[in-house]
Amino acid sequence: MHEELKDAKTPETVRCRVLAGTSCLVEVRTVQETQTTMFPVLHRGEREAILLAEALRADVLLIDEQVGRTIALSRNLPLSGTLGVLEQADRTGFVSDFPQVLQRLKASGFFITEALEQQLLGRRRAREGRSS
């Protein structure tokens, strides 16, 4: 994960924070990959994230990649993705304009199906007590 955050494909603002050491990362940990044959279809970052979540008995594993999510669920790991984190942030008041956040996320290249976006926005309207 830490390596992925420093990758050239990572958005520049994130990469700069990680490289400057001012990111939200508190501690970088590694895990010994002895079980890669169990899920070799995943990239190294997802494999290590799953193994580390198991080793630490993590409260939640943050993972968006669909195959990784499927494997994590099969290993009984509690998980969330980017959208789940953002929706929770909206529920707790950390996000002031959830629709704008979704638009910015999509503009950055994050793929969200129209159906899922409408589900998220519908749940937000329901939390606010609006029907349309």
pLDDT for res 3: 63
**Cα–chain-centroid distance for residue 89?**
13
Long-range pairs, 88-93, Cβ under 8 A, ≥24: 90/124, 91/127
Helices marked H in 7-97: 12-20, 44-56, 66-74, 82-91
pLDDT band for position 8 (50/70/90)?
confident
Range of the domain at 108: 82-128
62-109 residue pLDDT tens? 998 889 999 999 999 999 999 999 999 999 988 889 999 999 999 988
State whether residue 110 is helix, strand or coil: coil
Residues 76 and 86 reside in one and the same domain? no
Residues 15 and 46 reside in one and the same domain? no
Residues 120 and 93 reside in one and the same domain? yes
| Bigger pLDDT: 14 vs 22 | 14
Residues 24 and 35 reside in one and the same domain? no
Residues 48 and 66 reside in one and the same domain? yes
pLDDT for res 40: 74
Structural domain total, the chain: 3
Residues 35 and 76 reside in one and the same domain? yes
Residues 113 and 89 reside in one and the same domain? yes
- Going by the DSSP 8-state scheme, the letter that residue 36 receives in this structure is G
Lowest mean pLDDT among 36-40, 59-63, 87-91: 36-40
Q: Phi/psi at 79 (nearest 5 deg)?
A: -140, 165
